[in-house]
Structure 1
């Protein structure tokens, strides 16, 4: 099988010493390319060059780019640990939320694969690895005494919060990071003061955004509400 020279820009995707390709190595290299250059820069041909393998060898593990991207999503979510036996379901959900945030911040270019791509795929057709966190959270909550339906409601509420949070945290907040004046830094000086007095008044708060603290506050609100409205059966 013909080999291609390793792409000098992708030296971190060195193949294993044996030279043998594996699905795990292929997906790890694909994730490295996405982390560095974004999803749109990942192609089967470029990935093959990075691994110093013929492009056709990749199709043994992923029949097309869509399957490759699904595999990358599974690779990332494999790092999300959920303990369905934890007796303290609120503490476990909080731990899962913190992990999820760290994963996304470590792989920001993967966000579309985790947040928006699944919307176009029926649940049963999604990669099984991406469904395991859902199954684990449902197990955690039903063991805690929630009905199956309420457990699903809790999962949806939690990940709706997480997806909204990570998208907000990854969004660029400042028009001009070098500007000292908060109104100018965020571009809020462009808004009429008589129409947006509260938003303009929050300039300092907006520029001092703390993603970790913001997530904790959101979890406080969510989990307090869940404890009030969806009390599990002992």
Structure 2
């Protein structure tokens, strides 16, 4: 991802940096603000200050805040790569899932944008970096022998699972990290035991949440289900076409 050429010195000193301002520089600065202060902390004025320019300069590259938010999602998705030439489609999808999780954990406050912003725009009008994983995964799967429709189904199932997993993992917060008692650690003592006995019983499991392990377990279930219910791509590839 492109980084601001200001290096933070000009704005930090209260002066104006004379480096070239590009869309990539603006979006890199926007992502830094979101990473630090969340989406609600991003404004065009703060963005202008971050790159050491008058707000009107920012508007030359991004017309409004909505475009900035789209661009932040784009800049994160641009870091996700898919090897469409991979020979093991299931293994490659695992790689994509792991990489996406790492990106999300690196930019947790940008995750809501990754999940929601692309859906606010028709597919063909989304930034190419956002659409590229879809194209490459369909390419990977159709080369493996799946039909285009089945490849699209697999993509939707994978990213539906990933979005849910990431949102769930980021919400696994503890109330008292220093506690050794799982009920107190998770704040479950605040729930009436008569109404939530099963959650209280599962406190040790909830407290030992392992995001990476949960991801792998979910992928095992997802990929096994897809393999069992979709036509074998090898059989499809060998079927004569009239």
TM over 0.5: yes
1:76-103 CA-partner distances (Å, limit 9, x unpaired): 1111010111011001000000000000
Unaligned runs of 5+ in 2: 1-8, 238-242
TM-score (norm 2): 0.85
Q: Which moved more, 1:95-104 or 1:188-197?
A: 188-197
1:120 has 2:120 as partner? yes
Deviation at 1:184, TM superposition (A): 2.2
Note if contact 1:27-1:71 (Cα within 8 Å) is conserved in structure 2: yes
1:139 is aligned to 139
Deviation at 1:193, TM superposition (A): 4.5
2:45 is aligned to 45
Deviation at 1:43, TM superposition (A): 1.4
The separation in 2 between residues aligned to 1:49 and 1:200, in whole angstroms, is 48
Report how many aligned residue pairs link the two structures.
Answer: 226
2:12 is aligned to 8
Note if contact 1:6-1:50 (Cα within 8 Å) is conserved in structure 2: no
Q: Which moved more, 1:168-177 or 1:37-46?
A: 168-177
The separation in 1 between residues aligned to 2:222 and 2:14, in whole angstroms, is 43
Tell me: CA distance 1:187–1:122, structure 2 relative to 1, closer, same or farther (3 Å).
same
RMSD of the TM alignment (CA)?
Answer: 2.2
Deviation at 1:10, TM superposition (A): 10
Runs of 4+ with >3 A deviation: 5-11, 189-198
1:229 has 2:233 as partner? no
Deviation at 1:120, TM superposition (A): 3.0
The separation in 2 between residues aligned to 1:197 and 1:39, in whole angstroms, is 37
TM-score (norm 1): 0.88
Aligned partner of residue 115 in structure 1, secondary structure: helix
